[in-house]
Amino acid sequence: MKPCETRSRTLSGPGLLLSLLMPLLLLSGNALAAKERPRPVKVMQISLADGSGERVLPGQVKASERAALSFQVSGEISAIKVRPGEAVKAGQLLALLDPAIYEQQLEVAKAQFELAKVLFERASSLVEQGVVSRNDFDKYKSDYAVARAALDKAETDLSYTRLLAPYDGIISQRFRRQYEFVPAQQQVLGIRNEAAIDVSFQLPEQYIGALQRSPQGQGKVLGAEVRFDSSDLWFSASLKEMNTVADISTASYTLVLTLPMPEKLNILPGMSAAVKVRLAGDGMVAQPALPEGALVREDKGNFVYRWLPAAHKVEKVAVTLNGTVLVSGLSDGDFVVVAGVDELSDGQTVERWVKERGL
């Protein structure tokens, strides 16, 4: 009898190499993913104010007044009288539906109304003589009222086949074309008011307190001005709206300014603008103190990490201090990392840490 032979399978060649490299590949992949993941950093914005709290912020043009126009009844569009970009006057005819079916309904309603009217008038004279009972008279009276309402509705429906401009403005969009069937209340044209324009912008949360403390009341923006890319002039604007809930991605509050349409400038919704505002400056100082957590003290001097929002990176910047008070090295509006600076490196990819609201 042959002795029992124990056989074992071993990997060789490419299989052995793959089994040895697989853990290393997984570890290196995880390390690379962790390295590429942006580090969240807490930042503060530097205010080098002279007491006026002046800021220049990016904004976007919006239509001051706009509306989506639609027919109140359904039907086939027989004509559209205007094109996008065309100026219109209040009450001007913009579009028409095929009125044939509504004209027929109006004729039927007129005939039914005339019949109900004759029967009601006849019953009115006979009820006093006792020829017509009071119950029959009440029925004729009710039929007359229903026919009157049906006639009014038919006349109104026919008038709804005409789409009119609600105010002077510019046709901004066309959503439907001639010969298309449109259900009731489905937008056909867009219109906007050209007499005024709005500009929306975001104000960082550290300035909201100063805005609300303004002595003018209602969170008024002091000395708000707007400049457009097509002009070097600044135009005065007033505060129209202010959101009281911050944007969770930017920790900023959206404000809307309004101003008359500048002459000789073609300003359209969606264009970019610059907004210059002066906020109530109580609590702002010419040279602010930097928190200790923002400072990197080395033999060569003092440094901070400046956050670059557009690049999503930080850069190491030398600063001159008087104690912790900034003397030089930073510009008004710069963002500085205020925590965890010992774990950062120059040029590192980061993202702004946003406080979870409601927690």
128-179 pLDDT, tens digit per residue, is 777 888 898 899 999 999 999 999 999 999 999 999 999 999 999 999 999 9
What percent of the chain has pLDDT above 70? Answer: 79
SS3 151: helix
CATH fourth-level superfamily of 99-160: Helix hairpin bin (1.10.287.470)
Q: Residue 29 pLDDT > 80, yes or no?
A: no
- Mean pLDDT along residues 312-321: 92
Lowest mean pLDDT among 123-132, 317-326, 336-345: 123-132
- The residue behind tokens 């010969």 is 179
Rounded to whole angstroms, the Cα distance separating 334 from 205 reads: 15
Q: Residue 206 pLDDT > 90, yes or no?
A: no
Domains 39-49+285-352 and 70-94+164-194 alike in fold = no
- Average pLDDT of the chain is 83
Gyration radius of the chain over CA positions = 36
Who wins on pLDDT, 57 or 158?
A: 158
- Count the residues in the chain: 359
Q: Residue 10 pLDDT > 80, yes or no?
A: no
Q: Residue 32 pLDDT > 90, yes or no?
A: no
pLDDT at 54 (0 to 100):
72
**pTM above threshold 0.85:** no
CATH class entry, domain 54-65+195-278: mainly beta
Under a CB-based contact definition with an 8 Å cutoff, are residues 267 and 260 in contact? Answer: no
- Mean pLDDT along residues 313-331: 89
Helix locations, 207-335, DSSP H: 208-212
- Domain boundaries 39-49+285-352, corresponding CATH code: 2.40.420.20
pLDDT digits (tens, 9 = 90+) for 273-294: 999 887 655 444 456 778 899 9
- Mean pLDDT along residues 192-198: 90
Who wins on pLDDT, 4 or 278?
A: 278
Q: What architecture does CATH give domain 70-94+164-194?
A: Beta Barrel (2.40)
Who wins on pLDDT, 235 or 250?
A: 235
Q: Residue 359 pLDDT > 70, yes or no?
A: no
SS3 30: helix
Domain ranges across the chain: 39-49+285-352, 54-65+195-278, 70-94+164-194, 99-160
pLDDT at 17 (0 to 100):
56
pLDDT at 26 (0 to 100):
58
pLDDT at 33 (0 to 100):
46
pLDDT at 127 (0 to 100):
81
pLDDT at 146 (0 to 100):
96
pLDDT at 7 (0 to 100):
45
Rounded to whole angstroms, the Cα distance separating 157 from 341 reads: 70
